[in-house]
Amino acid sequence: MTPKLKMFFSEGALPTPYLAVDLDRVAKQYRRMVKAMPWAKVFYAVKANPAAPILKTLVRAKAGFDAASIEEVRQCLAAGCAPSDISYGNPIKKSASIAEAASLGVRLFVCDSEEELQKIAQHAPGAKIYTRLGVDNEGADWPLSQKFGASASTCASLLRKASDLGLIPYGVSFHVGSQQGSPAAYIDAIHQAARIFQDVAAHGIKLTMLNIGGGFPVQYRAPVPEIERFASEIDAALTTAFGAARPFIMSEPGRYLVAEAGIVCSEVVLNARRELPGQEGDWLYLDIGRFGGLAETEDEAIRYDIVSLRQQAPQRPFVLAGPTCDGVDILYRKNKVSLPSDLKEGDRVALLAAGAYVSTYSSQGFNGFAPLSEHYI
C-alpha cells in the first residue's frame, strides 16, 4: 500500500466498499516496464481498469492502448489517445463496431478465424491485421486459452488470406494467461510465433510486428518473479528466434500497470462461528464479494492480501465471504485469511493490489447492492 493509499484508507470517512487508486503508482509501474523492456511498445489493456484518470495518465506517458470493444476505443480517444496508438485486440467484434473503429481512424485489428477476417476486410478495408496464436497457459492463475486463439497453421493461412482481401498482414499475437508466473511460457510462444513469420515469408509476405500480450504478474499473497526477469528472458528468446530481423514488439500489460496502485476498502458485516458440516469454522463477511467486483476470486484463483488497521490484535484464519444472498459468494474457503480475531461489524479492512479488474467486474445492482465507488488520487 503506497503512502497516499495508506493515508486515504486510514481516514475512514468514505462509505464502503470503495476502490482507491494512486495514479502516481500507475505512472511508476509504466516507467518500470519501459525501462525493463525498452525494445517493446506498451499498449495498456484497457479492460483491466478503463477509468479516465488512468487512461489520461498513460496518454501523457505516451502509452498505446489495447481496446476490447468499441466502447473502450471511444474511451481511449476521449482521453486524448491518437487512433494510431489503439489496437482493437478482441478477436470477436460486431461488424458495426469494426466499421465505427475504422471510421474513427483505428487501423490495427486482430482476428483468429476466417469469419472475423472477412468482417474486417468488409468494414475496415486496408487495415493492418494480426492473428492471435493459441498457446499453452500453464502457469497462469487466470488462464485465457479456452476461448481465443488459432493454431499456427491457421494463423499463417489467415495472414495469407488477408493479403488476398486487400488487408495488410502485419503480425502475430499471443497471450500466455493472466497472472502468469513463468517466463518460460513467453519463450515457447515466441518460438511458435517465429515459425509463422517464416511460413508466410515463404509465400512472399513479410510480417513486421509481434505482440507478446500481457500476463505479467503482481504480488498478491505469494511472491512472483520481477518484471526485469521476464524482460531478460523474453529479450533473449527474441534474439534467438529472430536474430537481427527482430520485428516491432508490442506488449499489452493490464494488471501489471494498475493492480498494485489500488486498494479496496471494505467493512465487516458479520464475524460468526459456523458449525454445520462443510461450513465449520470462523467466517468473516465483508460488504464486497464476488458480485461486487471480486470475480477473480472464483476457484480462489487470485488471492488478495487483506489487512486491517488493527493488525496488532491476535489473529485467526477466517473463511471470507461476501454480503449477498447467494451461496457462491464465498471468496476464500481453502485459502483462509488471517485477520484480527475480534473484528466486528463496521471495522474496516483493505484488499491490497486491487486496482485491476475490480471496478469493471462490479455488478450494477445484484441483490440491490450498489457498485463500489471509485477514487483516483
How far apart CA 186 and CA 34 sit, in angstroms, is 18
DSSP track, 141-161: EE--TTTS-B-HHHHHHHHHH
Pairing of strands 18-21, 330-340: unpaired
76 has catalytic annotation: no
| Backbone angles phi and psi of 8, in degrees to 5 | -60, -45
Which 3 state secondary structure label does DSSP give 1? coil
69: which DSSP letter? Answer: S
Pick the catalytic residue from 76, 155, 265, 325: 325
- Give the per-residue SS3 of 223-269: CCCCHHHHHHHHHHHHHHHHHHHCCEEEECCCHHHHHHHEEEEEEEE
330, 335, 340, 341 alpha-carbon torsion, rounded to 10°: 70
Whole-angstrom distance between the N-terminal and C-terminal Cα of the chain? 13
Residues labelled catalytic: 325
